[in-house]
Amino acid sequence: MNYLFDVDGTLTPSRLPIDEEFESFFLNWMKDKNVYLVTGSDKDKTIEQVGEKIWLNCTRVYQSCGNAVYEKGKLIRQIEFKLEPELERLLDEFLLWSDWEDRFSTNVEERIGLINFSTVGRDCPQEVRDEYYKWDSRVKERETFCQIIEKKFPEIEATVGGQISIDIYPKGKNKAQVLDEIKGEITFFGDKCQPGGNDYPIVEMLFPLIDEHTIHSVKDWKETMKILKKWKTLLKI
């Protein structure tokens, strides 16, 4: 069995460190298991969230939606994806179009193989992240921006990630690419499993094979912990 986890919102609160109790439980639970992480974040942010012990003890960690791959701490593969002027101009236009007024810095972040964009700004405090997420859940600003990007640039994909941002990468270089490397039965945990979410490409690939694989669409890390603890209890009975 292979266990594949999203990070932000699935193993941790959005952009925050993992709960101490859950970290201790997860480190013990993952022993002797094939555990993979797949996230839109980069290496440093993921380690900040899950801790170095979990990060190093995974079978593999797929950063930037699988566009940078680490095995036991070593980078084994990556792709390049640069912000071109035409796309940059479109993102600047999004900043002007957005009806969200409370703005912070770091709207565009270039990662290995991926560009992360946020109208709010990645430097905003957690309470603003929470407010924007609730607002965006109603107005669907990020989904709209993703649709515009994909229509204007057919060679690019854009998906909703985390609470405040979208992930932009070459077409086909989404999270589902990691499934080509993981052989056998897969149990997947993610919180952005709806169409347009950055976990959806994995769900779209696994769902037709649901008799062979398992998908857990969770609302937060607490639900993930509850499911894993239930499994452990059942194994003891």
Q: Which of 149, 202, 164 is nearest to 41 (CA)?
A: 164
Please indicate whether residue 8 is annotated as part of the active site. Answer: yes
Q: Which of 8, 42, 167, 191 is catalytic?
A: 8
Q: Which of 6, 42, 136, 199 is catalytic?
A: 6
What are 76's two structure tokens? Answer: 């084994």
| Cα 86 to Cα 12: distance, rounded to the nearest angstrom | 35
Residues belonging to the active site: 6, 8
